[in-house]
Amino acid sequence: MRATMRIAVTEMSNDVLLRQLLDAMPSLVFVVDKDVSILDYNAAAGVFLRKGRQHILRRRSGDVLHCIHSTDAAGGCGRGDFCKSCVIRGAVKEAFEGSKSVRRRLRMQLVSGGKTTDLDTLLTASPFSYRGHEMVVLVLEDLGKIAELQPLPR
């Protein structure tokens, strides 16, 4: 069985394998650059965002996720005063600079249709290089959903 599995994986192109790995993850996964612009994302993030690729790719994460602070400055996400202390931006910067994974817990405030939603999140930012380009994979896990799955010990 192991030999069959090894052959199947080696015959699969890297791009197909990467796409399938990303889409298999239930958490929101984004591949971002140093300005936290989205270069790619997984199926779970697509379902969460409910937008087409043309409205997501090459745009900054706060603009796409509708961060409550993304409209603080004319330039959008990353340009306002609050953005200097943004946990997501800070984690991505730290991952790039230290070449290591960074994990943070944060409460995100997202605005959609005039309604503000708080989302308790575990953020992981992990740097990697692909085809000569430095990127960070940004994983956002909804802590509320994780708590629902795991009953607390009594």
Task: Answer yes or no: are the C-beta atoms of 88 and 36 closer than 8 Å.
Answer: yes
Strands, E, within the chain: which ranges?
Answer: 28-32, 38-41, 102-112, 115-130, 133-142
**Per-residue pLDDT reduced to its tens digit, 44-65:** 999 988 888 999 999 999 999 8
Domains and CATH numbers, the chain: 13-149 (3.30.450.20)
**Per-residue pLDDT reduced to its tens digit, 2-44:** 554 454 555 667 888 889 999 999 999 999 999 999 999 999 9
Judged by DSSP in three states, 99 sits in coil
**Per-residue pLDDT reduced to its tens digit, 80-111:** 999 999 999 999 999 999 999 999 999 887 77
This prediction's pTM: 0.82
How long is the chain? Answer: 154
For residue 126, what is the enclosing H or E element?
A: strand 115-130
